[in-house]
Chains A and B, each alone.
Chain A
Amino acid sequence: MEKLLEVKNLKTYFYSERGVVKAADDVSFYVNKGETLGIVGESGCGKSITSMSIARLVETPPGKYVGGEILLNGEDMLKVSDERIRQIRGNDISYIFQEPMTSLNPVFKIGRQISESLMLHRGMSQKEAYKESIKMLELVKIPNPERVVDDYPFALSGGMRQRAMIAMALACEPKLLVADEPTTALDVTIQAQVLDLMNELKEKIDASIMFITHDLGVISEMCDRVMVMYAGKVVEVATTEDIFKNPRHPYTIGLIASKPDMSTKSSRLHVIPGNVPDLNNLPAGCPFSTRCSHVMDKCKTAFPEEVVLDGQHRIACYLYTEGGSKQ
């Protein structure tokens, strides 16, 4: 399979008075053409910052890309000019954000917000872009697109706004769609509709998706492969099937165990003890060591090297390195 996006050793840090926050620390992964990669983790684990880094959307300062490469079809996003990255944003890489209520500009009409990308990247005239916007709204199944195109965002419901966001993101048929918790703020029924729509449109324009969420249910429905992040580090990457059947990292195991399971009637949910550590004050070694039930001495001194099992199941945990109990 051909890799569309390859991220190698990405380090995105934030510098503040309180210290350095390593929001994405040595993060490596790839996304194949036509594939959906899920990124999962608790809030504050660096999944959003990783996704924002792809099109260099992290604000610098306070953020800084300290190292690594982000290759989109071989072109390093961290090295291209500002001019070039703007051509890529919205055209090759598009974003859908979590909050449909606040992600649309409240003072511009929906049509204008969609047209903007079309005029910018596809060189359409205002009139053409307006017509295309109506088509896009139709494509995302918004009723009365001719009317909605002239509506302001506040006139639409949350689900409709998120559809409009999708229309905006897909207007220029991007190669990579980055969806940062696109359905978290929506009602469950609307969530399902929006997810279906995304899957359908992905097939239609043959895009790859990076799907960021903390909801494992959504992952199992949407993604081909899953990457698990914890405190800025990648701890496990595997196919969706593998992750659910055979989770290996203690954090992943805890995460999956804490998902309510309808088939067994256990009275209590599993809880991973403790909290995500303060990113300003990470423990030395593996960040999960403070909560891990299998913690060993060496976990507290250095972060483990990644091991690859079964061909493509990547884990960063001493349990699986040489001398580890599960090796």
Chain B
Amino acid sequence: MKNYIIRRILQMIPVMLGILLILFIILEMAPGTPASNMMNPKATPEQKAELIEKLGLNRPWHERFISWIGEALKGNLGYSITHKKPVTAVMKDYMGATLLLSIVSLAISVLLGVPIGIISATKQYSFADNALTVFSLIGISIPSFFFGLLLLKNFAVDVQLFPLFGLENPLLFNPTFWEKFKDISWHLVLPSIVLGLGSTASFMRYTRSSMLEVIKQDYIRTARAKGLKEKVVIYRHAFRNAAIPIITLLGFQIPALLSGAVITESIFGLPGLGKITIEATLTRNYPLILGINAMLAFLTLLGALVADILYAVADPRIRYD
């Protein structure tokens, strides 16, 4: 098990380097020199040269790539001129909203999607199964931004039940922790429904087909032949096996959720990473773009690693390899 984890971590390193390399090359292709995009257009040539020297921008790109990685390992992702802060500090300000939204949505989709998928599978072709199947088809087919706008229209504009915009009510003066918690939760209801819908539907579909596959297996018949209750057969014997592929989906859902978060944030005006990435692309704030992308790629790989470890916990065949 320990060896397995170490091996997986070692495999992550070249993948992470590959991602960074491609990102770096893309940003190198950007029109204009990086320096021209980050300084005051009125600066004198001397000032420009000084800045270029200071930022090390006159060195060849591969040298800068290596030194960026060196700095990144020390926790320094560069400096965002627009925000007049280090990139890490900017990311810290905006990451909360994105992570909060993604985690809430992931929790919703696992807690709803998996049990519903199991029910659907155990009652295959029943009315409930058909209804749930149609629901999950709608869930994976409706564009999240359109669904978000529909929710906004119905529950924030026509009926003003939920807030239209943002993560916190700016008028709340000196809120207690409880008031703040309530306020943020209230602001997150619609965004998490929007972001959670697609992945809930994915978990449903995946759980259903995985359970259907497992229920056909011989060992389920063995479990029934022992005289076990149907609940024990389904939730213990069948689900423990069906969970293995579902864990893989969990790994894939993390990047999907982070991508979805960008759209959701944009619709609901949440101050998250999606919002500053779009801003950063407009101001050509390359250090920030690089930093955010690198961090999201890292989170994605981390998610995949966690999924792999859970996978090994669930499946003894892998653990002993």
Contacts and interface: CB of A to CB of B under 8 A. Distances in A.
Contact of B222 (A86, A97, A107): A97
A107 B226 contact: no
Interface stretch (A25-33, A98-106, A281-289, A293-301): A98-106
A117 B316 CA distance: 22
B266 interface: no
A253 interface: no
B62 interface: no
Contact of A105 (B223, B314, B320): B223
B227 interface: yes
B227 A107 contact: no
B229 interface: yes
Interface string A77-93: 00000000011111100
Contacts of A107: 240-241, 244, 314-316
A146 interface: no
Interface size range on B against A: 20 to 34
Contacts of A120: 226-228
Interface in A100-120: 102-108, 116-117, 120
Nearest to B225: A95
Interface string A127-159: 000000000000000000000000010110000
Given A106-B316, A106-B317, A107-B315, A91 B227 contact: yes
Contact of B227 (A103, A106, A117, A152): A117
Interface in A163-177: 165, 168
A213 B306 CA distance: 47
A256 to B, nearest CB: 30
A121 interface: yes
B1 to A, nearest CB: 14
Interface size range on A against B: 20 to 34
Nearest to A117: B226
Given A99-B218, A102-B217, A105-B241, A168 B316 contact: no
Interface in B200-238: 217-219, 221-229, 237
Interface string B229-258: 100000001001100100000000000000
Contacts of B241: 105-107
Contacts of A57: 221, 224-225
12 contacts: A91-B227, A95-B221, A97-B218, A97-B221, A97-B225, A103-B221, A104-B222, A106-B241, A107-B240, A120-B226, A152-B320, A154-B317
Given A57-B225, A105-B222, A107-B240, 16 more contacts: A57-B221, A86-B227, A86-B229, A90-B226, A90-B228, A97-B221, A103-B218, A103-B222, A106-B219, A106-B241, A106-B315, A117-B226, A117-B227, A121-B227, A152-B317, A155-B320
Report the 9 A-B pairs with minimum CB-CB distance, sorted nearest first: A89-B227, A90-B227, A90-B226, A102-B218, A95-B225, A105-B219, A152-B316, A86-B227, A103-B218
